[in-house]
Every structure is written in structure tokens, then in C-alpha cells.
Structure 1
Amino acid sequence: MTTSTAAPGRGPAASALLSPSTPTRPRPSLNGTAVGLFLTALLAAAVWSTIDLRINVASILDSLSNAADFVSRMFPLDFPPAVELALLIAETLAIVVLATALAVVLSIPVALAAASTSGRTRAGRGTARSLIVLCRAVPDLVLAILFFRVFGLGALPGVLAMGLHSIGMIGKLYADAIEELDRGPVDAAEAAGATRRQVVWATVIPALMPQLIATALHRFDINLRTSVLLGYVGVGGIGLAIADALRTLDYQRGMALALVVLALCVATELLSGAVRRALMRRSGTEPARRGWVLGRRGGGAGEDTGAVGIAPPWTVDRIRRFLSIGAVAVILAASVVGADLSADRFWAGIVDLPRTLGLFLPPGTGGILPELLEQLLVTVQIALSATLLGAVIAVPVGVLAARNVVPDATVHTSARMFIVFVRGIPELIIAIVLVVITGLGAVAGTLALAIGAVGLLSKLIADSLEETDVRVQEALRASGATRVQVFCSATARQAAPSFIAHVMYLLDTNIRSATLLGVVGAGGIGFYLLNASRVVQFDVVTTIILMILAVVLVVEALSVWVRSSVR
């Protein structure tokens, strides 16, 4: 006869919890430990960067007198005449529309080649993925400088620069979306004898259409902000007008135009958000009716009926799609006219391309390599500090904007509107204002990126919190947990991996943005990049481009590693 002994002071239930069969928390893996150490080191580097760059309350307070002086010189705002302003807006929108359209057209075949479910060979998929990474890594400002040398001044360099750079984002999102599609319709079409082109057009593209449109709208929003920056290197539109005004210290005209850009960005953000929500609502009900029905190839023995396309009836949805396509065609045609693109200039630039590229090779340092390395470090410091400061502010804002965390409609709606407003302000405009207030240097760049980070990271945090499993939260509430306990024990823990991934994405983005803001004197290596291009030291431009590319690729690789490890 055996007797069971319970642990002293514990009942049978407690003893059962201590039995060997009870699952225990798994030991952390070597990869998980490495990620934890890396994130700790990254936080320490961000704190050190903030201290080293002298980003503190005292330095900000010292600039308050400059801020008051700037405001006094900014008012009254001087808006251009209505016709001139309308032409500037039309030119800017034309450039952004064409750049986004170019990116979408080029990204679709690249994404099909990069996706594991549609790419034909491993080598082809690897090449397509490498092209996507390269397009993301090279800032659009760098591409614009190159294209200005090839094609001269005008809208064409801006369209090509923003279009090719956008492939890095659009191509990746499209490839990921293709890999997540249901294979059923594709397999059915292939079994019916459809060719690869028919499979793509009849199954992949229709199923991907909501994602295609939503991503294009999001990229249009980003390109609208970027067009302001490219005005500093000669791209037309409002960006060029702002650059000209601020170079002559005409703050009344420059800030008036900046306010117009803000209104355009906020309107675009609200419009694209509404369209994306409408698309996502409709996409859940339309897949069964979408596209064309493929006929069978090969009916009986020796019979080949071919692939027959049966057109769907002219329903309200099909008429709406037809009108939408027509509207897009009209907008593209108007944009070509509004941007004043020249085919002759394009082909002349292509013919002269080998000679132009010879100006950039081989790379050179111009005798200032130590300064370039120092400014590259400053660029990284700006990105680290801005990410840290932005995250500190974005976390509470994102929490207040999450509907499942803060049920009060007034609070989370106000937080969402604040996010939309902050996201609508181009970082370049913030940097310009801060350069005037705080002076040239890294302080202005850091604070500008930190403010921009609040808009982006707050939205990502709010969306991640709202996407958590509500069943776990409801179970805790049913057991008597308070709202704070539910948030800390369930909601925040579920969203923690996404938060880490978002922060790494933000750091990746800030590295590029810190380079670009240097153009307006906001610190970092971007200032040297613009100066080298202006004094025709294209060999130094190449060296700076390679330095930026190396840092961006390293940061991107680390970001991919961290994001994949915390999923």
C-alpha cells in the first residue's frame, strides 16, 4: 500500500500543480537571448545618442526666443495668387500620381517573380527580392540627384526617383500578399489548362486588387510628402516653391505653402483611409463574383476546346469598376500633361547615360573621409535618438487610440485625429522650422524625426492593440480583473512582439529620413551629399551613396532578424 504525500501546507490541488507532468515555461533559446541582448544594447545606444547630441529640455528652452522671433516673421501668411497656387498644386499632384503609377506597374511583375508561390525559379525569386531591397535601401533623394544629372531639371527626375524607390515598399507588400493568397483558385485554373498569364490575370490579380489599391494609396500619401523634399534638388511643384522662398528667408510665403502641403497631406490621409476601409469591407463579400470564368482545355479524347473566356454580366459592381478604370486613365493622362514630361529629353538622357555614369565612377573621398565617417555616425545617432523619443511619446498616444483599450469614444477618436494631424505634417517642414528655431545641426533633425515617429508609431501601436485576441481579455474580465490588469496581462503582452517589430521598422525608416533631412541643414551626412552634388564632385557623391547603402542594409538585416525572432 502506497501513500501519497502532499507538500507541507499545500492541498492535493496544489500538489498536482507541482507534479512533473505540469508544463513549465520553456527555457529561452540562444537566438532569443541574442535578440534580448541586442535590443538592450540598442536602447543603450539610443540613450547615449540623445545625451551626446545634447537633446534636452534646457537646449529646447534656450530656443524659445528664436521660436517667438520666427513666428513674428512668419505672419501674416503670404499665399500665392489663386491661379498660381492651383498650378503648383496640380504640378505636385501630377508628379506624385505618375511616380506612384510607375511604381505600381513595375512592382506587380517584380512581386510575382519574388513571391514563393508565383516565382518560377529560386534564382529568379532571389533576384527579385534583392531588387526590392536595393530599391528600398537607396533613398529617393539620391536617385533624384542621379536622374537630374542624366535628364536635367524638371518633373521627370522626380517621377523616376520616387517611382523606383517606391518599388522597395510596394513590391515587398505585393509579394507578401501574393504568398498569403488562397492556392485553391490558382490550382483550379491550372488544372483547367490555363496558361501562366491567364492564371495571373484571372485569379491572382483580381484576388489581390484590394491590396493593390490600398497599398498604392498609402504610397501616394508617402510620395506626396517626399515631393516637398525633392523640391530642394530641383523637382517642380510646391516643394520647389517652398525651397525658393526659404532660401530668400521669405518665411511668410514659405510657411503659407507649407500649410497648403499640410492640408493636402491630411486630406490625402483621410481619403485614402476611407477608400482602404471601403475596399476591405467589400473584399470579404466579392471574391466569389470577381474575375472571369475559365473554360476547360481538352474535353473528350483528342478534343481541344481551348481556353474560352466567359464575360460576366454588366452588374452594378462591374459598371463601377469600369468607371473607376476610366477615371484612373483620365487622371494619368492629365498628370502626363501637367508634369510636362518630354520623351525627347528622356531618350537623350538614356543615350548619354554611359557618359554620365562615368562622372560618378570610380568613387572618391575628396580628402574628407574622416568628416564623412563622423557625419555618418551623426546620422545614425539622429535616427536612434529620434526613435527613442518618438517611442516614449507614441506609446501612450497609441494606447489611448485603441478602441479595445479605451472604450470612451471621445478619447480614442480624439487620439486618432491627433495621429492623423501629426502624420499629415511632412517631416521636412518640421525640420525647416526647427532649423530656423534651434539652428543648424542634429537637434533639429532629431526633434523633427521624433515628431514624425509619433504619428507613424502611434498608429501602428493602436492597430496592433486592436488586433489582439479579445477572448483572452474577456476571460480575464469575467474573472474579476480590472481594466489595467487586463491591459497589462493580456493586451500588452499579446502586442509586445508587434511593438518591437514596429520600433525596428521605425529605426530602419529613420536611418533613411535622417539622411534626407541633412539636405536642409538638420545634421548628418545628407548635407555633405547635397554639397558634393552642387560642386560637381560626383565621385564623392558615389562614396556617400555607398556609405549610406551599407548602413541601411546592415540595419535592415538586423531589423529582419529581430522581427522574425519575436513573432
Structure 2
Amino acid sequence: MATLVPVDTSKGHRPGLPVPKRPAPRAQTVGVWIVLLGLLAVGVWSFIELDVTFSALATGLQNAADFVSRMFPLDFPPVGELVSLTLETLAIVTIATVLAVILSLPVALLAASSTTPSRWASGPARVFIVVMRAIPDLVLAIIFFRMFGLGAFPGILAMGLHSIGMVGKLYADAIEELDRGPMEALRAAGASRTQQIMSGVLPALMPQIIATALHRFDINLRTSVILGYVGVGGIGLAMSHALNTMNYQRGMALALVVLVLCIVVELISGAIRTALLGRDRGRRRGPLGLLDRLSEGWATRPTRTHEVQRTSSGAIRVSPPWGADRIRRFLGLTVTLLIVAAAVIGVDADAGTFFMGLMDAPRTIALFFPPSDGGLFDTLLDGMIVTVQIGFASTLVGVVLAIPIGSLAARNVAPNRGTATFFRTFIVFVRAFPELILAIIFIVMMGLGPVPGVLALGIGSVGLLGKLVADSLEETDVRVQDAVRANGATRLQVYGAATLRQVLPAFVAHVLYQLDVNVRSATLLGIVGAGGIGYYLLEAQRVLQFQTVTYIILMILAVVLVLEGISAWVRRVVI
């Protein structure tokens, strides 16, 4: 009779046998953690090197009372002027976003592996997306101002082209995740590549197209404030004039208008994106739930069905019936086209100026070459180092603030629903506040230098990073948490042992993405005196040293591409 050997299931091995060793970590994994520890060390060093101390913060708080006394009472422009500025800003942002979508779609189709005609087309398309994402929109605006002069065109083109970096990448990734069955069926039926894309890709991609466009609209709205400092019209230009003349009552009144506008746009676009992409956790409560209910039906997700649809006469239907859903979609498309048409009319752009700028483009571009440091290499290098330090230090501040705030905003981590709702609302508020306005406030309170830039970007990071943290925590497997809780673990132990460990790879990806964003944003904040290379970029443009502008652009591009490469490698290994 066979003898049964008892198995020690608690240890996972049989008595008398050697204990299996844990597999040694892969070399890539070790390398990733060394890189991450190195990035953390750079962040701590940057925080110390820039002298972000409690004494500096205390000095700023002491000056806050003086700033508030100069800010109030707020001086709002006349209603007619304010409405005109608001509509001009919205028109510029709308056209820029539409331009980004129009340009991003063909680029994404070339970049996606499932729709590209060849790998030789996919590679350059991916490179173009990365380059457009790496070049700040402020830099593009400076170039286009030289080509087209003052007006709406430079801002529209700058935001539109820079948006390809994000919109094109998201579209390409979404295309690769689509079911390839419809395309293969159309190909088998003899459809051309264009017919395959029009019938097999774009209909399924439409929710992602609209949702990404709305998200980019939010970002472009905040960017328009920054571009106001280089001449783009709207509220940003008016605010820059007021603050440059130390008219804080008017400047902060316009900043409040921008804040309210960003919050309203964020809530509306968020509700529409939720309706398009779905919400697994149900409809939200309160004001956010009201927006969800209003968006339902106007932007519905397409339903997949393989059933043959027939008309009343029995013929096979080749188009959807004119039911309530199709009428709502038709009305939505009509309203969208009317808004875009009104925006084109509202910016009052001169087509003749645009074509003259294009004709003069070769001569204008020649002014920017060959790149030259203008004898300021050491100064520019120091400015670039300060910009990188601001990006790292602000990311460190953002991580320290965003992890607890984002955790309390997650419904499966927060002690109750009210706490989660409060911190979700707080994140929306912070996310809607443009970093430029925060930087201006801190500069007035603390003086010129990199510290205001660190604080502005650090607080601004809470908006994006806190949202990503909360969403990642809510997407964890609750069964693991329930198992740990069933063994008597406290809430904090469940969070550390089950919840946090599940999302650690996602956390790493989110932090690296925020670092990439903050380094680019640090470049832009230099135009208002927050330190770094942005100040020298704006000065070179003002004194018409365009070759130095190109040199600075190349410096920024090199740093951003290095960080982009490190982030992509780490995310690929960790995730």
C-alpha cells in the first residue's frame, strides 16, 4: 500500500526536501530600481539645492497679507468686455483642439500597428508624435508669432501641433486595442484600406476620439493663459497686461474668471467622457451625478451586435434607424459643427495673413539657423539645470501630497463615502487651477526665483497625480483586500499589504509621467520669473536672437527626450 507523505501547505513544500529558493530578480528589474532610487535622490537634492525651506515658506506667508490687501477689491472688466474676452479664449481653444484631432487621426493611423501600411511609416509617425509632445507649446508660439505676427493664428497652431503629442499617442494606442475582426472581415470582402478604416476602425474609435478631444480641450484652456504672455489674445493676454503693470485687482479678477471657467469645463467634459467611456462603479452623486444624468443619451457608447437589422419591408438595413439615439447623435454633431463655425468666425482670423506667413516661412525659418548660444553657454546651462531641478523638486512635493489625498479620494480606501467625495472635489478644484496663476501668486508673495515655481508645480501635481492615484486604487482587486481584512488586519494594514502593493507599478508610471510634465511646465513658468531656462528663452525672443532661441529649444528637447526614454524603459519593465 502506498504511503502518503504529509504536505506542509503552510510552508508550500514537503518535509525533508530542500526549501525552494526565491528566483533571483532579473537584471532589468534591479536596474529599474537603481534608476528609481537615483531619480529620488535627484529630487531630494533638487529640493535642498533650490532652498525650499520652511523659512522661505514662512516669509511668503508673512507677505500674503500684503498681497491680499493689494488684490482686493477685485476689479472685473465691464460685462461686455469680459464676455468678449471669454468667447475669444474659448474660440481659440476650440479651433486648436479641433485642429489637433484632425491632424492626430492620420498620424495615429500611420503609427498604430493594426492600421499602418508598413513599419517604415509607423516609426516616423511615432517619432513625430514624441517630438510634438517634447516641444513646449510656448516655443511653437514664439516661432509662429515670427511667421504670422500677433493674433490668433500663432496660439491656435502652437496648441494644435503640440496637442498631437498627447492626442496622437492616445489615438494610436486605442486603435491597437480595438478588435481587428471587423477590419479582417472587410478585407476578406475586398474592401480597400480606406474602406476598412472608415467602416471598421473609426466607428468603434469614436467614443475615444471625443473623450480625448474633451480632455485636451481642458488642457488647452489652461495653456491659453500661459500663451497670453507671448501675445495670444483672450483672457490670458488681458491678465498678463494687468499683472505686468502690477494691477493685481484686475489681474486676479481675471484669474478667478479663468478658474471658474476651467472648473465648469472640467465638470461638463468629465460628465460627457464618463457617458462615452462608461463608468463601472455607477453614476456619481450630488452635482457630479446631475452632470452624468444630463449627459446620458447625448453621448452613448456604441453597442456591439451581430444581429441583422431589417426595415419594415423586410429588407436588410444598412444604416441605423432614426430612433431617439440617432436623433440625439445627429443633434450633437450639428451643435458641435455650429460651435466650431462660430469659433472660426469669432477669432476674426485673416486668411491672407496666414497664407502670407506660409509663403514667408522659408525666410523666417532661416532666421533660427544655425543654432548659437550667443556666448551664453554657461548661463544657459545653469538655467537648464535649474529647470530640471524645479521639475524634480516639484514632483517630489506632488508625490508627498498626492498619495494621501488620492488615497482618501478612493472609495475603497476612504473611511466613508463623504470623505471620498470631499477629496475628489478637492482634486477637481486643484486640477482646474492653472499652474501659471499659482506661480504668479507665489512670486508676488515670495519674490522671483525657483521656489515659487516648485510650489506652483507641486500643488498643481496634486490635481493630475491625485486623480491617477485615486483611479488606480479604485481599480484594484477588492477580493485580495477582503481576504486580508478577514484575517483581522486593520484598515491601514489592508492598505499597505493588499491595496498599495497592487498599484505600485501603476504608481511608478504615474510619477514618471508627472515628472515629465513638470519638467516641461518648469520651462514655461520661467516666463513669469519662476526661474530656469524659460526666462532666457523669452528674452532671446524679445531681442530677436532667434539662433539662441533654437539653441535653447534643442537643449529643452534633449532633456525631455532623455526623460521620455528613461520613463518609457521603466514603465515597460515595471508594468
Question: Is the structural similarity TM-score above 0.5?
Answer: yes
Sort the Cα spacing of 1:546 and 1:291 in 2 relative to 1 into closer, same or farther, 3 A: farther
Query: Is residue 472 of structure 2 the alignment partner of residue 464 of structure 1?
Result: yes
| Partners of 1:467 and 1:320 in 2: CA distance | 32
Tell me the CA shift for residue 483 of structure 1.
2.4
| Cα deviations by residue, 1:383-404 (Å, 9 ceiling, x for unpaired) | 0000001100110000000011
Tell me the CA shift for residue 289 of structure 1.
5.8
Tell me the CA shift for residue 476 of structure 1.
2.6
Tell me the CA shift for residue 342 of structure 1.
1.3
Sort the Cα spacing of 1:284 and 1:250 in 2 relative to 1 into closer, same or farther, 3 A: closer
Matching residue of 2:485: 477
8 Å CA contact 1:202, 1:292 repeated in 2: no
Sort the Cα spacing of 1:122 and 1:13 in 2 relative to 1 into closer, same or farther, 3 A: closer
Matching residue of 1:35: 32
Tell me the CA shift for residue 473 of structure 1.
1.8
Matches within 5 A, 1:338-487: 338-487=346-495
8 Å CA contact 2:111, 2:122 repeated in 1: yes
Sort the Cα spacing of 1:12 and 1:257 in 2 relative to 1 into closer, same or farther, 3 A: closer
| Cα deviations by residue, 1:500-535 (Å, 9 ceiling, x for unpaired) | 000000000111000000000001000000000000
| Partners of 1:114 and 1:455 in 2: CA distance | 30
Matching residue of 2:166: 169
Matching residue of 2:531: 523
| Cα deviations by residue, 1:342-376 (Å, 9 ceiling, x for unpaired) | 11001000110111111111111111110000010
| Cα deviations by residue, 1:236-271 (Å, 9 ceiling, x for unpaired) | 000000000011100000000000000000111111
The residue type paired with residue 423 of structure 2 is A
Matching residue of 1:107: 104
Structure 1 regions of 5+ residues with no counterpart?
A: 294-307
| Partners of 1:185 and 1:479 in 2: CA distance | 48
8 Å CA contact 1:133, 1:168 repeated in 2: yes
Tell me the CA shift for residue 18 of structure 1.
6.1
| Partners of 2:243 and 2:307 in 1: CA distance | 51
Structure 2 regions of 5+ residues with no counterpart?
A: 279-295, 310-315
RMSD after superposition: 2.3
Sort the Cα spacing of 1:12 and 1:265 in 2 relative to 1 into closer, same or farther, 3 A: closer
The residue type paired with residue 137 of structure 1 is A
The residue type paired with residue 149 of structure 1 is R
Question: Which of 531, 536, 558 is the matching residue for 2:566?
Answer: 558
Identity %: 60
The residue type paired with residue 26 of structure 1 is P
Matching residue of 2:284: none
| Partners of 1:357 and 1:335 in 2: CA distance | 29
Sort the Cα spacing of 1:392 and 1:33 in 2 relative to 1 into closer, same or farther, 3 A: same
Sort the Cα spacing of 1:20 and 1:452 in 2 relative to 1 into closer, same or farther, 3 A: farther
What is the DSSP-based 3-state SS (H/G/I as helix, E as strand, rest coil) of the residue aligned with 1:364?
coil
Matching residue of 1:336: 344
| Partners of 1:17 and 1:83 in 2: CA distance | 83
Tell me the CA shift for residue 487 of structure 1.
1.6
What's the TM-score, normalizing by structure 1? 0.93
8 Å CA contact 2:394, 2:454 repeated in 1: yes
Query: Is residue 282 of structure 2 the alignment partner of residue 266 of structure 1?
Result: no
The residue type paired with residue 525 of structure 1 is I
| Partners of 2:405 and 2:239 in 1: CA distance | 31
Sort the Cα spacing of 1:506 and 1:516 in 2 relative to 1 into closer, same or farther, 3 A: same
| Partners of 2:158 and 2:564 in 1: CA distance | 21
| Partners of 2:324 and 2:317 in 1: CA distance | 20
Sort the Cα spacing of 1:64 and 1:13 in 2 relative to 1 into closer, same or farther, 3 A: closer
Tell me the CA shift for residue 21 of structure 1.
8.7
Matches within 5 A, 1:120-519: 120-281=117-278, 286-288=302-304, 310-519=318-527
What's the TM-score, normalizing by structure 2? 0.92
8 Å CA contact 1:115, 1:175 repeated in 2: yes
Sort the Cα spacing of 1:341 and 1:276 in 2 relative to 1 into closer, same or farther, 3 A: same
| Partners of 2:527 and 2:268 in 1: CA distance | 30
Tell me the CA shift for residue 485 of structure 1.
2.4
Question: Which of 539, 542, 553 is the matching residue for 2:547?
Answer: 539
